[in-house]
Amino acid sequence: MDLSGSKVRFHLLPQGRDAIKGFVSDQEFLDGFVVSENHLGVWLSLEELEPADAVMLLKWEHFSTAMLVYRPEVGVERSPVGFKR
């Protein structure tokens, strides 16, 4: 599942809390907007970061769980396939 474009709550592992110490307050959960993701982890926009357009990399190995609201896409209704007489 691609998390890009989603508001996500991450449950941080101890090494994740240590890695971001000094950038955000020390907490078990981290809420952010996922700008993009790649092989390293997710790039987050956080309210605490200055300037407002700054992003932070949260590596895959630094969190155990990602929670988000998932809304499946609604399928497009198509006309039946076949021949007309």
pLDDT per residue, tens digit, the chain (85 aa), is: 889 999 999 999 999 999 988 888 888 999 999 999 999 999 999 887 777 788 999 999 999 999 988 777 777 887 777 776 6
Question: How many domains, in total, are found in the chain?
Answer: 1
Range of the domain at 30: 7-67
- Cβ-proximal residues to 65 (8 Å cutoff; 6+ apart), any chain: 10, 11
Q: Given strand 56-59, what is the order of strands in its sheet?
A: 56-59, 41-45, 29-37, 7-12, 63-67
- Tell me the sheet residues that pair with 7: 33
Tokens of 7: 């508001």
**Within-domain flag for 17:** yes
Residue 80 lies in a domain: no
- 1 domain residue, yes or no: no
